[in-house]
Structure 1
Amino acid sequence: MTQTATRDDDVAAGPRASAERQGDVRLSLQGVDAFYGQIQALRGVSLEVRQGEIVTLLGSNGAGKSTTLKTISGLVRARQGDVCLEGESIARLPAHQIARRGVVHVPEGRRVLRGLTVKENLELGAFTLKDNALRRQRLEEVYALFPILHERRHQDGSLLSGGQQQMLAMGRALMHGPNVMLLDEPSMGLAPKLVTEIMRIIKRLNEAGTTILLVEQNARLALRLAHYAYVIENGEIRMQGDAAAMREDASVVKAYLGLGD
């Protein structure tokens, strides 16, 4: 697994989860199988994301991390099993209806729309919102969180740096008012200083009440940030547990994440 050269102590650790997880289950997968054609990508995947948590899903390239997020957001259909939001199945809903229920996916690669300004890219995140005052309020909140986006609001979003485009992608998701934010490799391709800044922003979002399912290539940093962690291998969940405890177990890190000292 590729690791971004960012020091663990550059990002403050999240709160240590207790042995008994707290909060209501916001999002769950129950025995999910998913396929690309005849190729099975997920095998009986079950996991939970509770209210107020950062949950991280870790594993090597091709293990099924991004497919899990795509299955939650409706871009890939679960062939078996179920995906539930607050106890209600969303597995058979089209992607746009899942998004309207507040499950917002920030995909790998950021997907900033060329030819649209930063402000226009952000406003696309609130395209279903009829309340103009609320739309303006959310826009101001995004600008407060990401001042560079306000500074460059009239610039073509595709001309931003990689880190700024990641901020734009996250800001666009926040415009939707997410119940659960799905973040796929937010640090990919970024310089270490920008990785640190993005992780601090994710922590701030969570502290402000956003529930997050995080897929992240920098496993040590993700385990420092998260409350709870799952490890996926060959499309199957191989282990799960308190993120802080998992991070401190050198044998776990080496065996499952390929990150020996």
Structure 2
Amino acid sequence: MQTINRTDAPATGTRPGKVRLGIRDVEAFYGQIQALRGVSLDVHEGEIVTLLGSNGAGKSTTLKTISGLVRAQRGEVQLEGESIAKLAAHEIARRGVVHVPEGRRILRGLTVKENLELGAFTVKDNALRRQRLDEVYELFPILHERRHQDGSLLSGGQQQMLAMGRALMHGPSVMLLDEPSMGLAPKLVTEIMRIIKRLNEAGTTILLVEQNARLALRLAHYAYVIENGKIRMQGAAAELRQDESIVKAYLGVGE
């Protein structure tokens, strides 16, 4: 298990590609409560990286801090070597870091098509907007079928597809996915994970938060384990998955 590292220092030497997204010694708070305690991690170009841990460990806060929804009190967030830590959330999105939040956040009263079009709010080229919409419909045919339906009336799995499609309308260079399998039937979970893999194979770099650790480790290239706001372990996902003692001690969730 040479690649497994039980410290919170990023281990970048054996991973291919350049660092697309990096955070260094990030601390974040909710009022007086410290949620992140010096978190550091790297997401390399073309990777799926998964961030694992129990409820309340700091997974979602890490994504929110990257996307600007939570402000880092200390530390650095960098996209391709440039600091984005002090940018507003919409400016970070303009740089290509797109957050698909837990709970999907589909806008009630808007059709599926209108929800998708909101994802392209920064795209001024009408031809490009139409092209991306066609690509989303090709990836998620059910969204085309139901494009005139209120998005909030879709099933849970369809809403997850809509949330991901809305993010794709932006043309992300990095996609932050927060619990995409939550509340879904096993068949739909398999479909969502297949789509995530397909997006990655098409060139999208992904940072994935997923409660089902075993499933995430089958999908990801690299993994970090967060506990009480600190990175406790990291390594190649395939190696972490094969070490039952690690799975039981740190990742005892999901089957």
Task: Give, as a single letter, the amino acid of the residue that structure 1 aligns with 2:84.
Answer: I
The structure 1 residue matched to 2:152, chosen from 149, 158, 161, is 158
Task: Give, as a single letter, the amino acid of the residue that structure 2 aligns with 1:202.
Answer: I
SS of the equivalent of 1:78 reads coil
**Conserved? CA contact 1:253–1:260, under 8 Å:** no
Query: For 2:67 and 2:74, how far apart are their aligned partners in 1?
Result: 16
Query: For 2:221 and 2:213, how far apart are their aligned partners in 1?
Result: 13
**Conserved? CA contact 1:74–1:91, under 8 Å:** yes
Percent of counterpart pairs with the same letter?
A: 86
Q: CA deviation at 1:20?
A: 1.3
Query: For 1:190 and 1:169, how far apart are their aligned partners in 2?
Result: 14
Cα RMSD between the aligned structures? 1.3
Query: For 1:128 and 1:89, how far apart are their aligned partners in 2?
Result: 20
**Conserved? CA contact 1:27–1:50, under 8 Å:** yes
The structure 1 residue matched to 2:29, chosen from 35, 43, 60, is 35
Residue 135 (structure 1) aligned with residue 129 (structure 2): yes
Residue 88 (structure 1) aligned with residue 54 (structure 2): no
TM-score normalised by L of structure 2: 0.94
Task: Give, as a single letter, the amino acid of the residue that structure 1 aligns with 2:232.
Answer: R
**Conserved? CA contact 2:107–2:115, under 8 Å:** yes
Residue 167 (structure 1) aligned with residue 166 (structure 2): no
Q: CA deviation at 1:65?
A: 0.1
TM-score normalised by L of structure 1: 0.92
Q: CA deviation at 1:196?
A: 0.4
Query: For 1:101 and 1:84, how far apart are their aligned partners in 2?
Result: 11
**Conserved? CA contact 2:215–2:254, under 8 Å:** no
**Conserved? CA contact 1:143–1:149, under 8 Å:** yes
Structure 2 residue aligned with 1:121: 115
SS of the equivalent of 2:60 reads helix
Query: For 2:254 and 2:48, how far apart are their aligned partners in 1?
Result: 24
**Conserved? CA contact 2:54–2:251, under 8 Å:** yes
**Conserved? CA contact 2:211–2:253, under 8 Å:** no
SS of the equivalent of 2:73 reads strand
Residue 190 (structure 1) aligned with residue 179 (structure 2): no
SS of the equivalent of 2:36 reads strand
Count how many residue pairs are aligned between Structure 1 and Structure 2.
244
CA, structure 1 residues 243+256, in 2 after alignment: closer, same or farther (shift >3 Å)? same
Q: Structure 1: which 5+ runs fail to align?
A: 1-17
Residue 53 (structure 1) aligned with residue 67 (structure 2): no
Task: Give, as a single letter, the amino acid of the residue that structure 2 aligns with 1:41.
Answer: A
Structure 1 residue aligned with 2:102: 108
Structure 2 residue aligned with 1:99: 93
Q: CA deviation at 1:258?
A: 2.0
Structure 2 residue aligned with 1:65: 59
Q: CA deviation at 1:257?
A: 1.2
Residues 134-156 of structure 1 show CA distances to partners (whole Å, capped at 9, x for unaligned) of 00000000000000000000000
CA, structure 1 residues 148+77, in 2 after alignment: closer, same or farther (shift >3 Å)? same
Query: For 1:99 and 1:186, how far apart are their aligned partners in 2?
Result: 19
Residues 138-193 of structure 1 show CA distances to partners (whole Å, capped at 9, x for unaligned) of 00000000000000000000000000000000000000000100000000000000
Q: Structure 2: which 5+ runs fail to align?
A: 1-11
The structure 2 residue matched to 1:206, chosen from 193, 200, 203, is 200
**Conserved? CA contact 2:172–2:204, under 8 Å:** yes
Query: For 2:108 and 2:193, how far apart are their aligned partners in 1?
Result: 26
**Conserved? CA contact 2:214–2:254, under 8 Å:** no
Task: Give, as a single letter, the amino acid of the residue that structure 2 aligns with 1:91.
Answer: A
**Conserved? CA contact 2:211–2:254, under 8 Å:** no
Residue 226 (structure 1) aligned with residue 220 (structure 2): yes
**Conserved? CA contact 1:117–1:157, under 8 Å:** yes
Query: For 2:43 and 2:72, how far apart are their aligned partners in 1?
Result: 18
**Conserved? CA contact 2:212–2:253, under 8 Å:** no
